[in-house]
Structures are given as structure tokens and as C-alpha cells.
Structure 1
Amino acid sequence: MNSVPKNQYLDILQLFRGTAALMVVLHHTIGSIKYYHKIQYPFLDYIAYLGKSGVDFFFVLSGFIITYSAYNKYNEPNSFSNYLKNRLVRIYVPYLPVGIFMLLLYTFLPGFSNSNRDISTLTSLTLIPHGNPALSVAWTLSFELLFYLLFSISFYSKKGWNWFVLIWTSAIIIFTYTPFASLQFLKIPLFRTLFSPYNIEFILGFVLAEVVVRKIKINIRLLFLMLILAFLSFFYCTFNNLKFFTHDANILFSIVAFLSIFIAIRIPDFKISKASVMMMVGNATYSIYLIHNFLQMILIRFFPKITTIVGVITALVLVLILSCFVGYGYYLVFEKKAIQLIKSKLIK
């Protein structure tokens, strides 16, 4: 089994995580501004659309980090159980307080939500795909959980996992881009999640980790050229609202994420001060992601009437600052300490 250098989680990847989190914050905040203040600017719609792409970046990065970090752990004692405990603690400990709070809020104050979506208690408490979670952004965590559980196959058989990925990718393509997409069983939430094209983004992260671990070299100039072409293709298609196939814009941005991460790991000496704002945001990304939607909804709902672009920018800046500040506090006081405490009790 190949080994990889430990702690090669580059500072620039933390910047990517922080930037992706802020993109998602912008996406939801602009939606709230339009909903509560009835303001319309075409370029705001486009910025909101771009902001949603932060999720695609997270998925590629998750697939990369999980695969990359596992290479030094396969031969450790209790590797499988420790991996599983690590991942479950990492997801559920920060999520459950926020998820339960939102479930109780919408149960007792159903009119508080911006939409009339039906909420699944099962999904809200467990993240098992069944319906809509109370915390709207938690749908992404169901995909994270699914990938973590499936990746555990690699702890029993790396070859078996590679074959599974090949079969899984083929099944996703078949059940998304052929007449088989209309099969009835795909309406079941669990299968709809299992065969969603979003999983291709995690698989891209896995492939990238394999490329890095196996030390496959690609000319850095070629990588930059491919990145520029991918960026231009993404912006051209989204700006002109071109649709070629299901999930096409997401796949294009996933390729942007793939190439960005690949280039980042080719410059390992890139260092950023741990005290810099973006590094702090990067460290607290998960907490910011969990708490930002409720914060922005409250702030925008009670914000003075927005009628100008200056008002929009002011509201966006305030939401970004508040989300980062409260999210970092949640990360320090609860997420970081609680995870460390629970891991010390569970993981050998």
C-alpha cells in the first residue's frame, strides 16, 4: 500500500473551503432578499446561481480528502471502526444541535419557513434520505454520509472498492441519461440519492486522490490551460443559460474544482498565516455552513426595506460578517471541543 505525506492539507485548500462556504451564504442570502424585499436585479440572480456551485466544490473536495487521508490508515489497528466513528462524529456532532433546533422551530412555528416544503422528521434527525430535512442545507449531508459509508468498502478491499466505483458510475450514467431514468424505483428517496449525478463529484475527488497518491504527473501549464478552459466554458454556459444535459453546469464546475485542487497540491510550499481571516473561515467552514441559513433568514427578514443596490450590498456584507463570526464561535466553543471530547472516548 502506498503511503502519502501526513498533514499535507494545504493552506490553499482551506482557502477554497472558506470561499465555497461564502459562495453558499451569498446564494441563500440573495434568495431571502428577493423573497422578503421583492427586489429584482438580473445580475443578482446570476451571482446566486454561481453561489450554489460552492456545494459542488465541497463534494469534490470531500471525495479527495477522504480518499487521500485514508491511505495512511488502512494498515492501522481498528482502521475500519476508527474511520467510521471519525466520519459519523464529524457529521453528526455539529449537525444535530442545529438540525434539532430547526425541526422544533418549524414544528411549533410552521409559518417561519420561507417555503411550504414538507419536512421529514426521519431525515432531520438521521440524514437518511426520506424527505426534506428541517435544516434545508442538510440535503448535502445525506450525500456526504452516503459517500462515507460506501467508501468504507475500501477498508475491506481496495480492489473491490475500485470495481464498485466503476459500476456505481456506470449506474449513475444509465439511470440519469438513458430511458432507464424513468424507472419507478428511482422515485424512492434512497435510490434517488444513490444514483444522483451529484455522486460523480465525490467520485471525481476520489479519482484525483488516486492520481496524487500514485504520483501521476501532468504538466502544470497544461493544468492551468485546462482550468481556464473549464472556467470559461462554465461561465459561458451559465451566463447564456445553455443546457446540454442533466447536471451539466454542476459537472463543469466540478471539473473546475478538480483542476483547482490538482494545481493547489502542486504548490505545497504555499503558506498562509493561521490567524488570517480566510484561514479562520476555512477552519470553521462546516459550522458556518450549518448556521448561516437561519442567521441570514432572520437578519434579512427584519432588515430595513431594501430598495437599492447599496442596500443589497450592505445586507450581503452584514450577513457574511455575522455568519463568519457566529460560525467561528460555534466552531470553537462547540464543534471543535465536542468532537475532540467524543473522539477521545470512542476512537482508539
Structure 2
Amino acid sequence: MNSKSNSRYLDVLQLFRGTAALMVVLHHTIGSIKYYHKIDYPFLNHIASIGKFGVDFFFVLSGFIITYSAFYKYNEPNSFSNYIKNRLVRIYVPYLPIGIFMLVVYTLIPSFSNGNRTISELTSLTLIPHGNPALSVAWTLSFELCFYLLFSISFFSKKVWNWFVLVWFVSIIIFTYSPFASLPFLKNPFFRILFSAYNIEFILGFVLALLVVRKMQLNIIPLFSLLFLALMSFFYCTFNHLKLFAFDANLLFAIVAFLCIFVATSVGDFKINKASVLMMVGNATYSIYLIHNPLQMILIRLFPKITSVASLIVALAVVLILSCVVGYVYYYIFEKKAIHIIKSKLIK
């Protein structure tokens, strides 16, 4: 299929990525406001608790995009080597500058962190699971790398990969929701990531991509109804602090993400002006995600004492806007320019 078909849903998915990133920005910013300014509003706490689920949306979307884009590249020359190079460049080129910078900052100024995390130099420099990375949000990149590397199986045999996913999913369920969850080997950082329930979200994205590439069509009204039901269930459970089982709220939001993407692909082409603010934020999502946490910590520390709802709104607006602006500059340098240069050398 041609490239136009391959990028058919790109615009609306970029909006989803941007929204998920801003959710995470809000989550961390509100946490900093509570820590540094001693602000504690119940509604604000609820917004913060919702914001962290932007990561779950990212994981479902990653599973979908990787599977969907690979479907059109399996038969290309050097498809496997290009896939590996592409994914590693995509992850590491934007990550390493800010990751190394934060490692240096925490080494020289340990008090810069508002927590007492033990930092792993190995994880900070390589994303290999060993401990806490200096850039706190980089823990998610270890999960991304895990899925990317496992997905490479599909370039050799799609049948083997499909069976692997089934066994992987069953293993995750067993090692999360049974007495086997306490087995000693699961304390190993590698196995902790491999059998984490977060991987169910990547698998959901993979399954959704299969439905889309195989042109499975569902009536849009039932899809919207399911999306509404899933969203209301998620809000009801989180607002009332209901705990049905381990990872329940995350999986509920992952289903919301699944249905949002399914609805978007069912609606069809949805073009947005590339110069619009929404698209610029969507394109710069990864960079915004990478730089926002140290940026918001600095901004909230320097912000005048927050004592009212008005000053709280101003603080949130300042952080969101500057995260987008600085994130876009970072994106332009390290994603748009640096990645383009490196890919032109490495990828055929």
C-alpha cells in the first residue's frame, strides 16, 4: 500500500499524542505545586491522578503505530535492519541530551530532586533496566524499548510473533494475578519489565492495528457507545477510588485509548493544518514529554507563592505553555534536524 494510506490516520493520532503528553505535564506540575506551595485542593488532586494515565495512552498508541506502520514495510529491502535503526535512533537521539544532563545535575546537585530516588547510571545512559533513571519519566522508555525489540520477531515470522504475543499475554496475567506473582525471579529488573501489566497496553495496540489493517469495520454508533461507557466507568472508578483488582484503572484507561483510536480509524481521513498549534504540539510530543519534568520543577520553584485559585491557574498555564514552546524547540533541534541527519547516514 502507498505511503498516503500508511499515514492516513497520522493527524488525529498526533492530536492524541499531544493530549496524552499534556496530561502527564499536568500530573507532574500539580505534584510540584503541592510539594513546593503546600496547595491541596481535592479537585486538583483528582486532575493530577487522571493526568498520569497519559502514559497508558502512549503505550496503546505505540503498540498500534509500530504494528500498523510495520505492516507496510515487511516486504521492503532491509526492512528488519531499518526498523531496528529507526527505533533506536528515534528513542535515543532525543533522550540522551536531556538524560545525560539530568544525570550530571543530580550528581552535582543531589538536592535538585524533590524525592530521594537512587539513580542508576547504567539505566540513565542506556535505558537498560537496572534502577531509576536520572530523568524520571525515562522509565517508560525501557518499556518502549522492550516492546520494540520483541516486535522485531515479526520481521522474521509473523506467525511466531502472534503465538509469542499470546503466550506473553497469558504469562503477564499469571505473573500479575496469581500466587506466582511473588516468585523471586520477578524481582529482577528485566523480568519486572517483561511481565509487567503495562505490556498489556502495547498488546492492545497491536491487536487494534491488526483489526485496522484487516479492515474490520464496526458501526460508529456502537463504537462511540462503548467509548462513552468505558470513559464513564473509568471516571467513576477513579473519582470514587474503587480498587477492583491490580492495575484496574490503568487497564480501563487503556480500553478508552483503544476505543479512541478505533473510532479515529473508523471515521477515516482527518486532515489538520500542519502549522496549527495542535499539530505542532502533537509533533513535538516526545520532546515535550522528555523535557517537561525538570522544566516544571524549576518554574514552580521560582513561581511566586501560590495562594489563590487565580494564581494556581496562572501557574498551570505558564508551565503548559512553556513546556510546549521549549519542547518544540527541543523537538526542532533533536528530532527534526538531528534525527534526519543520522537517519540519512544509517537507514537505507
Question: 2: distance between equivalents of 1:10 and 1:126?
Answer: 29
2:178 aligned residue: 178
- Whether 2:46 is the aligned partner of 1:46: answer yes
- Whether 2:259 is the aligned partner of 1:259: answer yes
Task: Give the aligned residue type for 1:127.
Answer: L
1:238 aligned residue: 238
Shift of 1:201: 0.3
- Whether 2:331 is the aligned partner of 1:331: answer yes
Unaligned runs of 5+ in 2: none
State the identity as a percent: 77
Question: 2: distance between equivalents of 1:219 and 1:59?
Answer: 26
1:65 aligned residue: 65
Question: 1: distance between equivalents of 2:97 and 2:334?
Answer: 10
Task: Give the aligned residue type for 1:224.
Answer: F
Shift of 1:64: 0.2
CA contact (8 A) 2:60 2:204 kept: yes
Moved over 4 A (4+): 1-4
1:88 aligned residue: 88
1:131 aligned residue: 131
1:250 aligned residue: 250
Question: 2: distance between equivalents of 1:2 and 1:14?
Answer: 20
Q: What's the CA shift string for 1:82-106, capped at 9, x where partnerless? A: 0000000000000000000000000
Shift of 1:312: 1.1
Shift of 1:275: 1.2
Shift of 1:6: 2.2
Question: 2: distance between equivalents of 1:180 and 1:3?
Answer: 45
Shift of 1:176: 0.2
- Whether 2:163 is the aligned partner of 1:163: answer yes
CA contact (8 A) 1:37 1:305 kept: yes
Question: 2: distance between equivalents of 1:190 and 1:146?
Answer: 9
2:268 aligned residue: 268
Shift of 1:7: 1.9
CA contact (8 A) 2:9 2:270 kept: no
CA contact (8 A) 2:217 2:266 kept: no
Question: 1: distance between equivalents of 2:96 and 2:26?
Answer: 24
- Whether 2:206 is the aligned partner of 1:206: answer yes
Describe the SS at the equivalent of 1:75. coil
CA contact (8 A) 2:9 2:264 kept: no
Describe the SS at the equivalent of 1:300. helix
CA contact (8 A) 1:10 1:268 kept: no
Shift of 1:5: 2.3
Shift of 1:310: 1.2
Q: What's the CA shift string for 1:140-174, capped at 9, x where partnerless? A: 00000000000000000000000000000000000
1:192 aligned residue: 192
1:153 aligned residue: 153
Shift of 1:266: 1.3
Unaligned runs of 5+ in 1: none
Q: What's the CA shift string for 1:241-268, capped at 9, x where partnerless? A: 0001110000000000000000001122
* 295 and 193 in structure 1: CA distance in 2 versus 1, 3 angstrom threshold: same
2:116 aligned residue: 116
Alignment of 1:15-30 (within 5 A): 15-30=15-30
1:311 aligned residue: 311
1:11 aligned residue: 11
Describe the SS at the equivalent of 1:266. helix
Shift of 1:10: 3.1
Question: 2: distance between equivalents of 1:318 and 1:212?
Answer: 39
Shift of 1:4: 9.3
